[in-house]
Structure 1
C-alpha cells in the first residue's frame, strides 16, 4: 500500500512537471508578440437633470456636465486610455430628444476635446420613457500626470422639460510597449 502511494505520488509529480514544461517552456510567448505591461481601471458615475426645454436651433447658454473620471497614468509607459460611457436617458414626456455628448480631457491645466462628438436622437413614446445610449473613445495622447475626462452635453433639442441623464463611465489605461 505504501509502495502504491509512492508510485502514485511520483506519477502525479511527473504529470505536474510535464504540464509545467508544456505551459511555460513549450508554449512560451512568441518573441515578436507584445510584452504585457501595466494597466489601470477606474470607474465613476455622474448625472445631470432635469434639463429645461431647449428648442431646435437654440444654442445652449452653457454645456451641461454629466460626469467625470480621473486616471493617473504617470507610472505607465506610452499609455493608451479607452473610455467607455453608458447613459440612461429619462424623458418624462415622449417627444423628440436630441443630445450631443462631447468628451473633454484636462491635463496639466489644459482642456481639450477628445475624439468626435456623439449624438443621441430619438422620438420617444408618450409618457415616461427610458432608453440607453453608449459610446467609446480611445485616447492615445500622452500626459504626464492625472488626466480628468469630462463628458458634457454640448448641444441639445429637448421639446419637453425634465429630461435627466445618468452615466456610468470607465477608463482603462494600458502601456504600449512596442
Structure 2
C-alpha cells in the first residue's frame, strides 16, 4: 500500500508530460504510452514516444466537370485550302478559386463520322478563356486517316495538362482549326472532361 501511495506522483507526472506535449503543439509528432504494471510494481510505467512521420504528400481537394459537344456536317475541303472559319466542338467551365495551386487535366474523346470514306484530316486546338482573355493551351492534335468507302466511324482522343494559374472560372473549349475533307458530310461528337486537383507540397 505504501508503494502505491509513493508512486501516485509518478502517474500524475506522466499525465502532465502528455498534456505538456499537447500544449506545445507537438501532439501530432509525439504520443504518450503506458505499459501494464509488472509483477514487482503496482503502478503503470508511462513514457513519451515519437510517432513515425510519413513523407507522403497530403491529398488535396479535386473538382470534376464534364460536357458534351458536336459539330458538322462539314463541307468538302480540298487539300491546301483553309477552312473559311473555325468550328467549335464544345467547352467545359470549371471554377478553381477554392483550390490551392491547381492543375487541370483535360480529356477529349470524339467520334468522327465519315459517310463516304476517303481522306479525312482534322486539326483540333484547345483554348482557355479566363477573365475575358482567350489563349491556346498546349499543342494542336491532328487526326488523319484514309477511311474505307461507305459509312465509317472512328474514335479519336487526346489529353492536355494545364498548370497555369487563373483566378476565377475558366472555360476550356476545343475547335477544329484546319481540315482536309475529300468527302462532304463529316460530323464529330464526343465528350470533354476537366479534372482539377490541388498541388499541396
Q: Which moved more, 1:100-109 or 1:32-41?
A: 32-41
- What does 1:95-174 align with in structure 2 at a 5 Å threshold? 95-174=118-197
1:90 and 1:34 mapped to 2: Cα distance? 44
2:196 and 2:159 mapped to 1: Cα distance? 13
- Does 2:54 align with 1:31? yes
SS at match of 1:169: strand
Q: What CA RMSD, in Å, does the superposition of the two structures yield over aligned residues?
A: 1.3
Runs of 4+ in 1 over 4 A off after TM superposition: none
Length-normalised TM-score, structure 2? 0.73
- Which of structures 1 and 2 has the larger relative contact order (alpha carbons within 8 angstroms, sep 6+)? 1
- Tell me the alpha carbon deviations over residues 108-164 of structure 1, each in whole angstroms, 9 at most, x when there is no partner: 000000000000000001001001000000000000111100000001000011000
- Tell me the alpha carbon deviations over residues 24-66 of structure 1, each in whole angstroms, 9 at most, x when there is no partner: xxxx995322111100000100000000001111111211000
Q: Which moved more, 1:139-148 or 1:30-39?
A: 30-39
**Unmatched tracts of structure 2, length 5 or more:** 1-50
- What does 1:13-92 align with in structure 2 at a 5 Å threshold? 31-92=54-115
**Unmatched tracts of structure 1, length 5 or more:** 1-27
- Tell me the alpha carbon deviations over residues 62-98 of structure 1, each in whole angstroms, 9 at most, x when there is no partner: 1100000000101001010000000000001011000
Length-normalised TM-score, structure 1? 0.83
Change (3 A) 1:54 1:35: same
Look at both structures and tell me which one has the larger radius of gyration over its CA atoms: 2
SS at match of 1:177: coil
